[in-house]
């Protein structure tokens, strides 16, 4: 089951955030080592921005972190069709444009799950279910993925 990771999980995995979320995200990613995980390009840009801004990391260190994620997982590209679909989401469901873009890119990339804290847990669109992996009870699809 293809699974997309949103920015907040990448940020936590990089050690920025409260220790509970950092630890939970790192445990989750260890469980996903054999899964079909992808990362939308938008999320890598946001990760770089957070690491160099709020986290205060030097740009070279942030670049290395982003490149490591690019080496670890396939990257889902953003294109004009992705923006069209994102705008549809904004109009139909009043989502923020950047969240809508991530969700639409995940859908276009064949993801079944989008793991994030930023969108409404349980929301589904074009076959992608939004799942917050840091809350209990866990979503049945996430349980299935983690097997």
pLDDT tens profile 56-79 = 999 999 999 999 999 999 999 999
Structural domains counted in the chain: 1
80: containing domain = 3-146
Strands 124-125 and 128-131: antiparallel
- Read off the pLDDT of each residue in 10-34 and give the average, rounded to a whole number: 96
At 33 the pLDDT is 84
Confidence check: pLDDT of 140 > 90: yes
pLDDT tens profile 73-132 = 999 999 999 999 999 999 999 999 999 999 999 999 999 999 999 899 999 999 999 999
> How confident is the prediction for the chain on average, in pLDDT?
96
Q: What is the CATH number of the domain that holds 93?
A: 3.40.50.1010
At 147 the pLDDT is 84
Cα 51 from Cα 31, distance rounded (Å): 24
Confidence check: pLDDT of 34 > 90: no
Q: What is the pTM of this model?
A: 0.95
């Amino acid at each position: 089951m293809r699974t997309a990771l949103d920015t907040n999980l990448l940020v936590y995995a990089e050690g920025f955030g409260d220790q509970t979320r950092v630890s939970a995200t790192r445990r989750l990613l260890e469980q996903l080592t054999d899964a079909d995980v992808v990362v939308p390009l938008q999320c890598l840009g946001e990760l770089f921005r957070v690491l160099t801004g709020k986290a205060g990391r030097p740009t070279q260190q942030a670049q290395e972190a982003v490149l490591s994620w690019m080496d670890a997982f396939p990257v889902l590209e953003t294109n004009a069709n992705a923006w069209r679909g994102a705008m549809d989401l904004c109009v139909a469901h009043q989502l923020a444009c950047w969240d809508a873009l991530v969700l639409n890119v995940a859908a276009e990339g064949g993801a079944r799950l989008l793991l994030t804290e930023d969108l409404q847990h349980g929301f589904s669109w074009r076959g992608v279910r939004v799942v917050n992996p840091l809350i209990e009870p866990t979503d049945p699809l996430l349980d299935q993925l983690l097997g």
